[in-house]
Structure 1
């Protein structure tokens, strides 16, 4: 038999008599009546919250939090994270120490007496030679200045020594040193020395002794002096290479 759920059969129970036995009492509400003041309290709280948010936005926009308006605040100084400092421009104009031969980047050098421009005009940079006049094409030494932005000072010095010693026999390369020229415009300096025997196309062998010194300026432009002399004249004429190199340093 199926079960059914519901009120028991029969008439509903009679209401309880009112006090004093005079009959049913008045009906009572199940919940107490709501106060008419509650909606107004909620509305007033919402209005106050909106006003507080509006005041905060005004303070944020106008800068009233520090007592100054946006117009009264001073702009950020140059060099801050908001306004980067301007990049300096190199001054390559001719100066009082720029004498003799212009290489580039505002760098010059003065050739020593008896040194002449290389007859091979296809070479990069500026190359001056100490020619042995008794034999055409045979020289006692050279002073060659080249420039680049592809290497730093150390990298270019090592690169040039490798190139110069590539066609030599018995090459010995000295330990590289970081030099410190007096010119403050030189950011970095690196020097290397080497010795070796140069072999001509006819098989003639000439012992050579040389050095490479590379100078890097404040804009990372590198100028290198590549110099060498025959070993038989090195001690007698190395001061001429030193003189040319010193004029180069002063020119930066």
Structure 2
């Protein structure tokens, strides 16, 4: 393996898709800046990634707070680090009927899934534009392509991420900086647990879930190719194709049937 002497900054890097992406960057010789909330988890992952012979910087931040997104970049600047790659992976959902879910939790999720992502991307671009190179990978979801009853705020945040990613990609087309959106479907991570989503019908069939490793590989390859987006997995490609052929209300009904609790008829 050849050291790239370039840093990849990855949020949500201690578990799930973010962890698998970090591992791929490490294996391919990139130095890492890994970001998550838990110091101990960061430290354990850093030791693992260093075994690939790269540098790893750990920064514990709570990206539910926009101040932490700003201070993360300030710390990098103070240390003279300009990441070549930004992976906006950190994200959460909250499950349930909108009338019943906790508004504070939902505002947190909007802050994590949207606000921190646009802050980090803005700061990354201000840093990289003069250098004329850089790559951004934004975690969208097949949820970005259809309204999601029982998971409405999460789907809405991912629709924002996909639309905005496509828009800034066009703005940046002559800059040397690429923007890629990764659209996984249901993936075998701690996401459903954190979203209190274990009652959802979507989990009734384990075959519905892709592995985080497969999704990360699709995202990594698309990012390196400079693709605009990648839908991970054949079943998910077919699901998005069906959504594209449906009216919005049909797509919402279909998604609602898939996601509602198993106890609901």
Is the shorter-chain TM-score for this pair beyond 0.5, marking a shared fold? Answer: no
Structure with greater strand percent: 1
Structure with greater helix percent: 2
Larger Rg over CA atoms: 1
State the structure with bigger RCO (CA 8 A, min sep 6), 1 or 2: 2
Q: Shorter-chain TM-score category?
A: under 0.3
With normalisation by structure 2, the TM-score equals 0.26
